[in-house]
A and B are shown apart, each in its own frame.
Chain A
Amino acid sequence: MKKFFAKLYIWVLLVILYAPLVFIAVFSFTESKVLGSWEGFSPNLYRNLLTGQMQGNASLLAAVKNTLIIAVIAAAVSTLLGTVAAIGIHNMKGRAKKAVTFLNNIPMINPDIITGVSLFLLFVFLHFSQGYTTVILAHITFCTPYVVLSVLPKLQQMNPNIYEAALDLGATPSQALRKVLIPQLKPGMVSGFILAFTMSLDDFAVTFFTRGTIGLDTLSTYIYTDARKGGLTPELRPLMTLIFLVILVLLIIINVRQDRLQKQNENR
């Protein structure tokens, strides 16, 4: 009985949580301009999206492209910067370590709008013209702390003697780094990269304040502008549905795999 209510609660929450997403998915199969009015089944929105021939604004595809490019660059740079920084922080001591950790925490504690406004003021102050570069720099700023936090635990779990042993056995420091350190840090780097990538994809506020006035749009700012004008581009519906499916499948694959690995380890 208890179990029944527990399950019921979880499923009711999930149904409510997913209602708007299902709503978008259902209405991605009708051609109406407005979300919520059904004008008969039609796969045309999907066709428009895939062929790039939009009913509405064609710059949607450009926005998607920008979003992906920015996310890839920001995630790659933050992974590199964050991993090197984590190795450094791990070897620091006392006050210096505390100070750097504190600074590293700030972008995670600050709401997006503060990060956005403060970086906007920085670029204004430096007379730095805003556009692609400033958005990427801003994304690196709020992504790197998450990479640092994903890599640090791996460093703490690592046995420092292994690295020393490699050196004693005649490896050069760079060999020891490539053959010993990096493989151990890899899981942390991968999850840091994925976190950074998704944070960047999802960002709205920081991009909004740092993109300047050159008309650079990411998916978020595109949706914002579109909604302010009244009415969303209909092709956003199939786009969101596709993104939703891709993420759902990816997450389930990752988790089922982890589950299986765990069970294998337990059975051993």
Chain B
Amino acid sequence: MSKRSNWSIPYVIFLVFFVALPLVLVMVYAFQDGQGRFTLENITKFFTDRDALSTFAVSIEVALENTGLCILLGYPAAWILANKQYNKSAVTIVLFIMPMWINALMRTLATAQLFTMLGITLGKGTLLFGMVYDYLPFMIYPIYNILAKMDKSYVEAAVDLGATPWRAFWKVTVPLSMPGVTSGILMVFMPTVSTFAISEFLTNNKIKLFGTIIQENINSSMWNYGAALAFVMLIIIGITTLFDQDKEEAEGGLI
């Protein structure tokens, strides 16, 4: 086993080149003007740009609501699926993961079309519904994974010791499943903030999310401002991931 650790060298070089360097470049471009001089202008522009700020606020709001709804709807579903008493077949779980394999844009467009056909006006409500629809499997799956692996004797022990089933659920099951919930939050929150295209399709261009602004700036060659907006997002990601330690554990065995 002499120098097996050297086997990671090609990948380390790859990571430095395609992961680290690009992120450094986001920072570099964010603090440069069009001529390559150092400037804080892009950052201050964001904090004084009323449109960008309100889009940012709307994105955070929609992401919070979406994450909350996904937990509210997804946790019971994951719990039922992980419970042998209610669900014996693996096929039901497959049915829940399955939509993740279908092109998200196509699903979104179909959802929007379905709303239109049912005579529902596209707006905030349809946006939330569509987002929950897109992201619910990403919340159910990590929670289900943790709950399915959980040792059921903890709950039995709590009940034996006199806890009501309800109390055992809140004091035992919920705390033990928290890693799955955090991992679900990570898989739903930031992706919601950063989506582009999906929000426009679901609201008929009425509501834009933060990702769209980044995309518009990059596509109209405003690279520096686009990079500054991406930088703002990187900082938020940095903060949110501080809360995350068990992501890998919960994600293990996605197939």
- Residues of A with Cβ closer than 8 Å to B? 3, 6-7, 9-10, 13-14, 16-21, 23-24, 35-36, 81-82, 84-85, 87-93, 96, 100, 103-114, 117-122, 124-125, 137-138, 140-141, 144, 148-149, 153, 160, 163-164, 191, 194-195, 198, 201-202, 204-205, 208-209, 219-220, 223-224, 227, 232, 236, 240, 243-244, 247-248, 251-252, 254-256, 258-259
Contact = CB atoms under 8 A, between A and B. Distances in A.
A247 B11 contact: no
A160 B25 CA distance: 41
B132 to A, nearest CB: 9
A247 B107 CA distance: 15
Contacts of B247: 105, 108-109
* B-side interface size class: 35 or more
A85 B11 CA distance: 6
Dominant secondary structure of chain A at its interface with chain B: helix
Interface of B: 1, 4-12, 14-16, 18-23, 25-26, 29, 73, 76-77, 80-81, 83, 85-87, 89-107, 109-111, 113-114, 116-117, 133, 136-137, 186, 190-191, 193-197, 201, 211, 214-215, 218, 223, 226-227, 230, 233-234, 237, 241, 244, 247-248, 251-255
B255 A240 contact: no
Nearest to A123: B22
7 contacts: A14-B92, A88-B4, A111-B190, A149-B248, A191-B254, A191-B255, A202-B100
A113 B211 contact: yes
B244 to A, nearest CB: 8
Contacts of B197: 204, 224
The 6 closest A-B pairs by CB, nearest first: A88-B8, A85-B11, A88-B7, A118-B22, A20-B110, A111-B194
A85 B13 CA distance: 11
Contacts of A149: 248, 251-252
Given A9-B76, A121-B26, A255-B91, A113 B113 contact: no
Contact of A81 (B14, B29, B87): B14
A141 B29 contact: no
A84 B7 CA distance: 6
Contacts of B251: 149
A88 B11 contact: yes
B7 A85 contact: yes
A223 B109 contact: yes
| Residue in B20, B98, B223 with the greatest tally of chain A CB atoms within 10 Å | B98
B76 to A, nearest CB: 6
A120 B87 contact: no
A227 B117 contact: no
A122 B18 contact: yes
B98 A251 contact: yes
Nearest to B241: A109
A117 B86 contact: no
Contacts of A205: 196, 211
A206 to B, nearest CB: 11
Contacts, number: 239
Contacts of A35: 109-110, 113
A3 B141 CA distance: 21
B91 A256 contact: yes
A19 B99 CA distance: 11
Contact of A88 (B6, B252, B255): B6
B7 A87 contact: yes
A259 to B, nearest CB: 5
Nearest to A254: B255
A176 B158 CA distance: 49
Given A85-B10, A88-B7, A109-B237, A255 B106 contact: no
A202 B101 contact: yes
Contact of B77 (A9, A244, A255): A9
A223 to B, nearest CB: 5
